[in-house]
């Protein structure tokens, strides 16, 4: 059995890097198709489509025909900087939230008991459990 495409580097389930976004921009300027770019980067064509949709910008050019009239041209092109910025904005709030955010009252209680009353952490947890101070019923 012969291998048509040698996949020594696995790129599934990984995010596009800035270098790959620059490569997409360069290849799109050379009028390459999304499928050929996907093949070159060893990515899914849908990944390239999503990235191009994410990083599309519209440039406005004004061409003066006469002194009073001008024509406006809108040119849509891909920008790797906008693609990276949109990616970072989307990924900013991803991931698991910290558990201590929901336990701020318990942390303040523990801090107060340790600092003022000189209790041990074990005694604080035992007391809180016994009196059901911070535990859901």
**What are the residue boundaries of the structural domains of the chain, listed by start?**
18-91, 99-130
Structural Rg of the chain based on CA atoms: 28
End-to-end CA distance of the chain: 62
pLDDT in single tens digits along all 137 residues of the chain = 455 555 555 556 688 999 999 999 999 999 999 999 999 999 999 999 999 999 999 888 887 777 777 778 888 899 999 999 999 998 887 888 787 777 888 899 999 999 999 999 999 999 998 988 887 65
Q: What is the CATH number of domain 18-91?
A: 1.10.10
The pLDDT, as a whole number, for residue 4 is 58
The pLDDT, as a whole number, for residue 8 is 53
The pLDDT, as a whole number, for residue 61 is 81
pTM of the model: 0.59
Judge whether 16 and 38 are in contact, CB under 8 Å. no
55: Cα separation from own chain's centroid: 13
């Amino acid at each position: 059995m012969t291998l048509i495409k040698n996949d020594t580097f696995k790129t599934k389930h990984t995010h596009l890097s800035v270098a790959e976004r620059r490569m997409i921009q360069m290849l799109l300027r050379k009028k390459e198709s999304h499928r050929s770019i996907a093949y070159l980067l060893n990515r899914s064509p849908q990944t390239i489509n999503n990235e191009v949709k994410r990083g599309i910008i519209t440039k406005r050019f004004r061409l003066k025909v006469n002194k009073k009239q001008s024509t406006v041209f809108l040119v849509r092109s891909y920008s790797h900087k906008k693609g990276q910025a949109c990616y970072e904005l989307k990924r900013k709030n991803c991931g698991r939230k910290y558990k201590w955010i929901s336990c701020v009252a318990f942390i303040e209680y523990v801090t107060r008991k340790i600092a003022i009353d000189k209790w041990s952490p074990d005694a604080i947890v035992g007391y809180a459990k016994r009196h059901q101070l911070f535990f859901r019923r």
